[in-house]
Amino acid sequence: MRVLVCVKRVPMTGGRIVLTEDAQEIDTAHLGFTISPHEECGIEEAARLIEAHGGESVVLTLGAAEAEEQLRDAMALGIDRALHLDSEGSEWDGQATAEAITNAIRAEEAASGTFDLVFFGNESADAGGFQVGIRVAHALGRPCVTGLKGIAVEGSGVRCEQEVPGGRDVYRIPFPAIVTVKEGLNLPHYPSVPAKLRAQRQPVDTATPARQEQRLRKLRLVVPESRGKRAEVLGEGPAAAERVVEVLREIGVA
Amino acid sequence: MRALVVIERLADGVDELSLQALAFGRGLAGGPDVHALAVGEGGADLAPLLGAHGVSEVHVAEHEAFVSYAPPAVARAVVDLVERLSPGLVLAAGSDRGNEVLARAAAMVELPFAANCVDATTGDPLRVTRQRWGGSLLEEAELAGAPALLTVAPHVVAAAPVDGAEATVDTFTPTLSPDELAVRVVEHVRAEAAGVSLSDANVVVSGGRGTGSAEGFAVLEELAELLRGAVGCSRAVTMAGWRPHTDQVGQTGTKIAPDIYIACGISGATQHMAGCKGAKKILAINVDPEASIMASADYAVIGDLHEVVPAVSAEIRKARGT
């Protein structure tokens, strides 16, 4: 089978978000970067599927030149090949992102065959648009199930599980299909050192799609006001226990 | 301006987040021209409730596809109404389903879509403030095209009944293609009941990297049991395999709103705080008085959770005489 995973490079924000002076971006001067969490599970699942069923897995990202780091991380986790759509640094809205990815999938499939399954994250950690996978599925005319916490190949399709209040909803859709997944789908493994070294030598194909007009146009970012509190220190070490229980009683839970 | 609000139904009424979206939409529309879409049989029964929340007309989409959740079919019903009513605004709750349905409708009509808005101002273009990073960051943006499609972030506005008259009812059958009928819920698997659920608990006792191991959670479980609460954890803990992902509090885990959140050995990364900012009170137990969680906590104990938590449990037992 052939499987594609679409991922996004996002900063590891740590404890406090600091913006650049023009309030257009998070100041990432002192931050590391990672693959958006939901998509890490997409990578893990794609690698497992190809291990079980044979075939080829491909990872794709639309992002700055530095996003090559995340493509190599994905290959270290078992993905065979990488496609990089260079956004030339700027952020793209959901519609423009979906259009570029749709075109890339069409080109890749014309050359190497249809992807039975394409994985997206349910939403990116940073922009949280909740739409790219759905838009790509619509453009390609493929069935799409969102927010998966469980997936199993059944014959020529997939059984998909979504977490809902009180249990799980099940969908069955035929290949070729598109799914968006959530963290918790699986527990991603850590790459081995040899796998990391191997990933450094694997090829990355790069294309530079034209940036479309932004129809959800970012004006500026704003860090919401914090609760503006200073924690009341109830004490140090086990000696604080008595005061803690007083507080729990005041709140009405002890 | 005319607004169309997509309603999520419960067995016995309307989801609270949909009522919040109605309040938001009514405010933004700036008038009484508020329409609602409810799919499935019995939607007309909601007319009094929706009227009381300011809906002038409820459109009930009926089709055999709606016996279970069928997201592309719901999106098609939205698009049918958009074509018929020409609303300036289309809204839904910023829930899993609300975001999914509006994203699908946006794809069908080739319009932009803004998820999880906390504020909006009409104009050409419409201006929105929306959540990024699970609400740890806000974005001000312009949304081009008409109608404007947006979802309303949970709990940024309260549902607001207006003593309106019962809504009039319009029943219609959307035109669904075979493709739009192919994606639907075909089975529901019930979860095994397992004590107090994280999302509903009044007390959540949660552990981070500071617990040190899966075994480190024993003292947290003991305290949670004494307080009839649930045990939670940070993402670092689930990634280490110490607890299942179902215990994870955070942007990519469960979002909680307990009376008190007891965060033990948790540094307070934005990813985590996005999940617990709904807590009424936060008590942080941490060896590091400079941990970033202290900026969001109401109370703090500076110390090792392995010593502090058992001492709190012992104190509760002592007070209860058990």
B45 with B150, same domain: the answer is: yes
- The pTM assigned to this predicted structure is 0.96
| pLDDT tens per residue across all 254 residues of chain A | 999 999 999 999 988 899 999 999 999 999 999 999 999 999 999 999 999 999 999 999 999 999 999 999 999 999 999 999 999 988 999 999 999 999 999 999 999 999 999 999 999 999 999 999 999 999 999 999 999 999 999 999 999 999 998 899 999 999 999 999 999 999 999 999 999 999 999 989 999 999 999 999 999 999 998 766 789 999 999 999 999 999 999 999 98
Chain B hits for A137, Cβ within 8 Å: 107
B171 with B269, same domain: the answer is: no
CB–CB of A128 and B132 under 8 A? Answer: yes
Q: Does B193 map to a domain?
A: no
When CB atoms are compared, the residue of B136, B186, B319 closest to A170 is B186
When CB atoms are compared, the residue of B71, B111, B267 closest to A15 is B267
The answer to whether B194 faces chain A, any CB pair under 8 Å, is: no
Q: Does B137 map to a domain?
A: yes
Sign of the alpha-carbon torsion through B221, B226, B231, B237: negative
B223 pLDDT more than 80: yes
What is the crossing angle of helices B96-109 and A132-140, to 10°? 40
Q: Give the HSE-up count for residue B63: Cα atoms under 13 Å, Cβ half-sphere.
A: 21
CB–CB of B269 and A13 under 8 A? Answer: yes
Q: How far apart are CA B122 and CA B148, in angstroms?
A: 10
B135 with B51, same domain: the answer is: yes
- Asked if B133 and A17 touch (Cβ cutoff 8 Å), the reply is yes
Q: Which two tokens stand for residue B89?
A: 């605004």
Chain A hits for B187, Cβ within 8 Å: 169-170
Q: How far apart are CA A16 and CA B276, in angstroms?
A: 15
- Intra-chain end-to-end CA distance of chain B, in Å: 63
The answer to whether B15 faces chain A, any CB pair under 8 Å, is: no
What residues contact residue B225 under an 8 Å CB cut-off, 6+ apart?
Answer: none
B144 with B53, same domain: the answer is: yes
Give ∠ CA B214-B219-B220 in degrees, rounded to 5.
80
Q: Which two tokens stand for residue B151?
A: 């979802």
Q: How far apart are CA B81 and CA A185, in angstroms?
A: 35
The answer to whether A18 faces chain B, any CB pair under 8 Å, is: no
B7 with B99, same domain: the answer is: yes
Residues 83-102 of B with CB under 8 A from A: 96, 99-100
Chain A hits for B292, Cβ within 8 Å: 14-16
DSSP, collapsed to helix, strand or coil, labels residue B7 as: coil
Confidence of residue B31 (pLDDT cuts 50, 70, 90): confident
- Asked if A57 and A75 touch (Cβ cutoff 8 Å), the reply is no
Q: Does B92 map to a domain?
A: yes
Q: How far apart are CA A88 and CA A72, in angstroms?
A: 19
A·B CB contacts under 8 A: 267
Which 8-state DSSP code applies to residue A163? E
Inter-CA distances, A234 with A227, B261, B292, Å? 19, 15, 17
Q: Which two tokens stand for residue B58?
A: 């409820």
pLDDT (0 to 100) of residue A228: 65
Distance from CA of B7 to the nearest CA of A (A): 17
Host domain of residue B245 = 203-320
Q: Are strands B126-132 and A157-164 parallel, antiparallel or unpaired?
A: unpaired
The answer to whether B129 faces chain A, any CB pair under 8 Å, is: yes
User: How confident is the model over B72-100, as pLDDT tens digits?
Assistant: 999 999 999 999 999 999 999 999 999 99
Q: How far apart are CA B97 and CA A203, in angstroms?
A: 39
B238 with B93, same domain: the answer is: no
Of the candidates B197, B222, B268, B212, which has an alpha carbon nearest to the alpha carbon of residue B243?
B212
B108 with B208, same domain: the answer is: no
Residues 33-72 of A with CB under 8 A from B: 37-38
Chain A hits for B289, Cβ within 8 Å: 233
- Asked if B234 and B209 touch (Cβ cutoff 8 Å), the reply is yes
Q: Does B55 map to a domain?
A: yes
Which 8-state DSSP code applies to residue B227? T
- Out of 3.40.50.620, 3.30.2350.10, 1.10.1780.10, 3.40.50.300, the CATH code matching A2-251 is 3.40.50.620
What residues contact residue A124 under an 8 Å CB cut-off, 6+ apart?
Answer: A8, A10, A36, A39, A132
B105 with B53, same domain: the answer is: yes
DSSP, collapsed to helix, strand or coil, labels residue B223 as: helix
When CB atoms are compared, the residue of B132, B186, B235 closest to A171 is B186
Of the candidates B128, B153, B89, B24, which has an alpha carbon nearest to the alpha carbon of residue A217?
B128
What residues contact residue A21 under an 8 Å CB cut-off, 6+ apart?
Answer: none
The answer to whether A32 faces chain B, any CB pair under 8 Å, is: no
The answer to whether B75 faces chain A, any CB pair under 8 Å, is: no
Q: Does B39 map to a domain?
A: yes
Domain count of the fold of chain B: 2
Q: How far apart are CA B60 and CA B188, in angstroms?
A: 24
Q: What is this model's ipTM?
A: 0.96
B211 with B294, same domain: the answer is: yes
B194 pLDDT more than 80: no
Of the candidates B213, B274, B264, which has an alpha carbon nearest to the alpha carbon of residue B240?
B213
Chain A hits for B194, Cβ within 8 Å: none
Q: Does B73 map to a domain?
A: yes
Q: Are strands B168-172 and B57-61 parallel, antiparallel or unpaired?
A: parallel
User: How confident is the model over B129-188, as pLDDT tens digits?
Assistant: 999 999 999 999 999 999 999 999 999 999 999 988 899 999 999 999 999 999 999 999
Q: Does B188 map to a domain?
A: no
The answer to whether B156 faces chain A, any CB pair under 8 Å, is: no
DSSP, collapsed to helix, strand or coil, labels residue B316 as: helix
- Asked if B275 and B218 touch (Cβ cutoff 8 Å), the reply is no
Residues 150-209 of A with CB under 8 A from B: 161-162, 164, 166-174, 182-184, 187-188
Q: Does B186 map to a domain?
A: no
pLDDT (0 to 100) of residue B64: 94
Residue of A nearest to B192 (CA): A167
Torsion angle of C-alpha atoms B238, A227, B155, B23, degrees rounded to 10: -160
Q: Which two tokens stand for residue A231?
A: 């924690």
Q: How far apart are CA B263 and CA A146, in angstroms?
A: 31
Chain A hits for B141, Cβ within 8 Å: 216-219
Burial of A196: CB neighbours in 10 Å, binned 0-12, 13-18, 19+: middle
CATH code, B215: 3.40.50.1220
Task: Give the E-state strand segments of B69-190 in sequence order.
Answer: 89-93, 113-121, 126-132, 137-143, 148-152, 168-172, 187-190
Chain A hits for B298, Cβ within 8 Å: 229, 231-232
User: How confident is the model over B264-295, as pLDDT tens digits?
Assistant: 999 999 999 999 999 999 999 999 999 999 99
Backbone angles phi, psi at A30, to 5 degrees: -115, 20
